[in-house]
Amino acid sequence: MNTSLFRKRRDLLLGGLSGLAAATLPAVAVHAQAPQRQLRIGHQKGFLSLLKGRGTLEKRLAPLGVSLKWTEFTAGPVQLEALNVGSIDFGDVGEAPPIFAQAAGASLAYVAATVPRPSAEAVLVPRGSPLRSVADLKGRKIALNKGSNVHYLLVQLLEKAHVAYSEVNPVWLPPADARAAFEKGAVDAWVIWDPFLAAAEKTLDARILADGRGVVNNRAYYFSSLDYAARHPDVLAIVIEEIDRIDNWAAAHRGDLAAELAPLFGIPRPIVELSVGRSAYGTGPVTRAILAEQQRIADVFFELRLIPRRINVLDAAPAGLA
């Protein structure tokens, strides 16, 4: 072959390859900067909704190449079902649902907990009821949501009052149906949490017979899957920081908080003001001591045959548990 011709072809080929590489480099760079991870957040109407609305979490996670997907749910148990089938990576829930989920085999991890909020749940009676103490509940019909945080509250209140659990008559009803039964006088008492609690006080003239103070802690929890928590601890750490930032703001601006939550809940502002006024705010890491609280609840639920087997709550602990 003509050497000169070969060199020309070689130079043209190399030049073309160089041009192709130069043309594709910007696209490669753009691709490298695009989000490589996603955090799918499940949330109920509440603090996570405020976090979503403010957009601060997106800004914090953008430098890590993390995109967000938000899905609203009506309750904690539904979120945990979504976690179990792989539809979400993070969510918020009360004390009881994670215990039922773990007993059912869900691979969940507790990643953060709120401060105790014992005043946010209580036993209500009508204003003119003759019932004056928890001991007076013996033989009475009590409406409550089965297997919920208030179910545990009732058990603990009865134990403290030396009333056997078998000596009361639970009526298993979700909040809306329980309110209707309470209003009609079909039950003697109702065990419920805020903001339903505040709504009953304001609109039904209900009276608090006893709340959770000195009996339960009534924390809320933030959860992930064990797999996601192990692979993305940096992402979850930032999420918890931002949630705690909202909590700290809420503690110092309760009036503003009520103004934001009232339209979100679809509840008049005075009711929300009563609810947020007695709550406590703050979110932090899960500790062994906090999970020991959950273990006590799980043991009680097993003894009541509400869950099918004993569970070890530490199996749902995040890595590096203090």
Domain count, the chain: 2
> Looking at the domain assignment, is residue 13 inside a domain?
no
pLDDT for the residue 322: 66
pLDDT in tens, 240-256: 999 999 999 999 999 99
| pTM for this entry | 0.83
Question: Looking at the predicted structure, is the pLDDT value of residue 5 above 50?
Answer: no
286-319: per-residue pLDDT in tens?
999 999 999 999 999 999 999 999 999 999 998 7
* Same-domain check for residues 110 and 54: yes
Q: What is the pLDDT of residue 12?
A: 38
* Mean per-residue pLDDT of the chain: 88
- Pair (292, 146) in one structural domain: no
Q: What is the pLDDT of residue 73?
A: 87
Residue 155 lies in a domain: yes
pLDDT class of 120 with cuts at 50, 70, 90: very high
What CATH number does residue 99 fall under? 3.40.190.10
Average pLDDT of 111-123? 97
Domain limits for position 233? 37-116+219-316
pLDDT for the residue numbered 321:
76
- SS3 track for the chain: CCHHHHHHHHHHHHHHHHHHHHHHHHHHHHHHHCCCEEEEEEECCCHHHHHHHHCHHHHHHHHHCEEEEEEECCCHHHHHHHHHCCCCCEEEECCHHHHHHHHCCCCEEEEEEECCCHHHEEEEEECCCCCCCHHHHCCCEEEECCCCHHHHHHHHHHHHCCCCHHHCEEEECCHHHHHHHHHHCCCCEEEEECCHHHHHHHHCCEEEEEECCCCCCCCCEEEEEHHHHHHCHHHHHHHHHHHHHHHHHHHHCHHHHHHHHHHHHCCCHHHHHHHHHCCCCCEECCCHHHHHHHHHHHHHHHHCCCCCCCCCHHHHCCCCCC
Position 294 in a domain: yes
The answer on 124 and 111 residing in a single domain is no
The confidence band for 3, taking pLDDT boundaries of 50, 70 and 90, is: very low
pLDDT band at 143 (very low <50, low <70, confident <90, very high): very high
In a domain, 159, yes or no: yes
**Does residue 18 lie within any of the structural domains?**
no
Domain-embedded: residue 3: no
Mean pLDDT of 28-57: 78
Q: Which of 156, 189, 211 is the last residue of a domain?
A: 211
| Domain-embedded: residue 170 | yes
Q: Are residues 227 and 312 in the same domain?
A: yes
Identify the weakest region by mean pLDDT among 12-21, 41-50, 60-69, 280-289.
Answer: 12-21
pLDDT bracket for residue 77 (50, 70, 90):
confident
Tell me which of 284 and 34 has the higher pLDDT: 284
pLDDT for 150-199, tens place per residue? 999 999 999 999 999 999 999 999 999 999 999 999 999 999 999 999 99
Are both 292 and 311 inside the same structural domain?
yes
Residue 26, pLDDT > 80, answer no
- Which of these three, 211, 229, 249, is where a domain ends? 211
Residue that is last in its domain, among 211, 239, 258: 211
pLDDT: which is higher, 293 or 27: 293
